[in-house]
Chain A
Amino acid sequence: MLQLEKRPNPSRFWGRATPVLAVFLTMIAGSILFALLGKNPFIAMRTIFWDPILGEYAFYFRGQLLVKAGPLILIAIGLSLGFRAGIWNIGAEGQYIMGAIFGAGVGLALYPMEGWFIFPLMVLAGVFGGWLWAMIPAILRTKFNTNEILVSLLLVYVAEALLASMAVGAMRNPQGNGFPGSRNLSQYPSAANLEIWAGTGIHWGVIAATGAVISAYFLLQRHILGYHISLSGQAPKAARFAGINPNKMIVICLGLSGALAGAAGLFEVAGPAGQISIDFNVGYGFTAIIVAFLGRLHPVGIALAGLLMALTYIGGENASTALGLPAAAIQAFQGMLLFFLLGVDILTNYKIKWIKGRWK
């Protein structure tokens, strides 16, 4: 029978190989799923993974890839720092919405003034909004020991309600003929977050995400704060022994993840989305949790995972329109990816051994 045997040292090889193995297993299981639905699995895989990058219409998809990956990576980087420290911010979606509301609020308040400082000001406001929303669970946790998972999650629904009221109330476009939704910021030059190089999908949010990946890498490799974050998560008692104040860690980690989620919200509202609307948020904040784990909480891993996740979204959409696959099947496919990733993760710390004829 098969037996698991704990490795004395975690395997470096499997630490890197498991994500690849998980993608591979997802492809196999996904092919079986699609075959059962009566679709040619090879064509389905090609439509999801190949066409968006190298297919005939790839020029259209490629831009979309970075537009979708940008916010995912930006949010996931922030979340990963908290997750490493054992601080579970599940409410990035809410912080993302608040970043958008605060940032867009500044832009809308200054409309129609023009000036170079408007967009940076909006970014700051967006960061502040996300940070502020994350400070609620942080303060409740440090002062009253409430559970940050529940508080941050429930605040998502508060933020959604606030978003809806903004879209039909305070931020509604006065020239919008009564329709819900704000003015379109992408048509307001000083506030717009437009594509920097045509066709690439790169806007300021993508640049910020790249910066976040590099900074997080540096933070974790070289900076004492990164070390303290990892230490707090791995051995809380040892962290206290090292003189780390756990409450300070909670405020820093929730604050950073909130700020990055807020920034992602601002870049989205000023760019691809363009306006505050009732259905502005599409779940980036939740998907980023998957991205953070898929990337093993490592900055480079997260960048790759964000791109892969964006690809399954775009490829999945492509497959559902081109092949008529149901949306639920695509979601199941994405779920499989996380399932396999967590499943094969065991190989990092355990060896599988075949033992003859000894049944317990």
Chain B
Amino acid sequence: MTADFLTLSNLTKSYPRVIANDHVSLSIKPGQIHALLGENGAGKSTLVKIIYGLVQPDEGEMQLAGQPYQPQSPAQARAQGVGMVFQHFSLFESLTVAENVVLGMENSPPLSLLQSRITEVSQAYGLPLDPRRIVRDLSAGERQRVEIIRCLLQDPKLLIMDEPTSVLTPSEVEILFKTLRKLSAQGTAILYISHKLEEIRQLCDEATILRRGRWVAHLDPKEKTANELAELMVGATLNAPQRHKRTQGPVTLAVKGLSQPPLTPFSPALKNISFTLQQGEILGVAGVAGNGQDELQLALSGEALSAAGTLYLGEKDISQMGPNARRSLGLASAPEERLGHAAAPDMTLVENALLSASARLALAKYGLINWSKTRNFAGEIIAKFDVRTPSTEVVARALSGGNLQKFVVGREIMQKPKLLIINQPTWGVDAAAASAIRQALLDLAAQGAAVVVISQDLDELIEISDQFAALYEGGLSEPCPIEDLSFEEIGLLIGGVQSRENTHATA
């Protein structure tokens, strides 16, 4: 039996009002792929930040290769063989791959030498990447490879990967997994953070589960079902959302050749998007981030106007109407960014209830706000959607991500819309809240509303949508019934391959 490469014993780190890590212990052997599982706020990020030297623990000890290990900074951690690939990349868009790598190095070799090293490493680990390309032109998967190679050049003994697959297409995920397995075979330990359970069951040898800062279990993920893992994470039994039988009615939303120039120099244009959506139908829109999700959301919600004759709600042309005119006709929307877009961070929940509901629920008459009616509405949302908050007078930023998302989704659903546009409904939300939100969307459709769900979480879309389409560089694939698609076909659609020969054009 080989000795552990990294051991953490009784690590504790507390922040004001919350203990992020409460006596957490963990050990990783060389070559092991170790999963760190937990909901948002379970303390995964704090734990890896401690290992990577970004945060110092209040208590506890760490040992690396048998020696006491107390990194004071990421540079020290790197020097001792610990590398980390963050969820959010830190790359300069206008520089080449090699130039970006140089910027992260303490003593960098000449650029030409580095370029050949990058090519060498990328070939050795099966990560195709041309060091001379400009980062701006790279896909998310390729950008991640830059980050991985940047780490590999330092020859790490432990590689930490924080939610690496959240921005990847299925085929890119496969390439990544091959690389990670190769690294592990060569003896590199990998600490893999994710909440995608199937992935973890495929890839990892061992898993440590955290819940609210505490160690919960240490197990072999291959011996458990995804549902068992989820229940350990949440600490409660989870019910899969129930689909209702629904009768589909007349067309609610018709999009006819919607195009839009880029809103900013770095955002994609919308290209000739067409689809129709019937009453009671849920359209799932997949795609890798930055392929037009926000733009589609803004165009449908009315925050960006579009050319006349491109958007119809029922029989009515809504292309030129602003958000409130559309709301009065029965459209509701929930954008991706909760704080700052869907809700004002420093306003109370009552004030935030007014934000999008004043038009449809007549919360203001002749400009006079009916605060008691608004307060009641906020109270109803909190009660019905199980928003955990001490009162309605709390500011939005004081709520956790999941609770605020439940509030935002509840606010829109309780306006009884005919059409709901929702972007990333469960992003960063814990499993229990996510399943409640998905159920709410299914219930809304069952009551006859049409729903457009834009999401990067494929499992979510498969779980709740009737029709499926993918956004790629601002264009939308033709929607087709989700049960007709294989996982491979979905992957191809997300990657922009439109080779489906109209087999499902009848959808």
Hey, which bits of chain A sit against chain B, CB under 8 A? 5, 8-10, 222-225, 227, 230-231, 234-235, 237-238, 240-243, 245
Contact = CB atoms under 8 A, between A and B. Distances in A.
Contacts of B343: 235, 238
**Which one of A10, A225, A238 has the highest number of Cβ atoms from chain B below 10 Å of its Cβ?**
A238
B324 A243 contact: yes
A243 B17 contact: no
Given A224-B364, A224-B367, A224-B369, A238 B395 contact: no
**Which one of A230, A240, A241, A245 has the highest number of Cβ atoms from chain B below 10 Å of its Cβ?**
A241
B163 to A, nearest CB: 25
Contacts of B327: 243
B354 interface: yes
Contacts of B342: 238, 241
A234 B345 contact: yes
A10 B347 CA distance: 10
Interface of B: 16-17, 301-303, 322-325, 327, 333, 335, 337, 340-347, 351, 354-356, 358-359, 364, 367-369, 371, 394-395, 398
A242 B346 contact: no
Given A222-B371, A234-B347, A245-B322, 20 more contacts: A8-B17, A8-B398, A9-B398, A223-B368, A224-B358, A224-B367, A227-B351, A227-B369, A234-B344, A234-B346, A235-B347, A237-B340, A238-B340, A240-B303, A240-B323, A241-B301, A241-B333, A241-B342, A242-B355, A243-B323
Given A5-B16, A237-B337, A237-B340, A223 B322 contact: no
A119 B423 CA distance: 58
Contacts of B371: 222
Given A9-B398, A243-B323, A223 B359 contact: no
Contacts of A240: 303, 323
A227 B303 CA distance: 19
Interface of B is mostly: mixed
A225 B301 CA distance: 22
B341 A241 contact: yes
Contacts of A222: 368-369, 371
Contacts of A230: 347
Contacts of A235: 340-341, 343-347
A231 B16 contact: no
B145 to A, nearest CB: 32
B345 A231 contact: no
A231 B344 CA distance: 7
Contacts of B323: 240-243
A242 B359 CA distance: 9
Contacts of A9: 394-395, 398
Given A8-B17, A243-B327, A238 B344 contact: yes
A241 B303 contact: yes
Contacts of B347: 230-231, 234-235
A235 B354 CA distance: 14
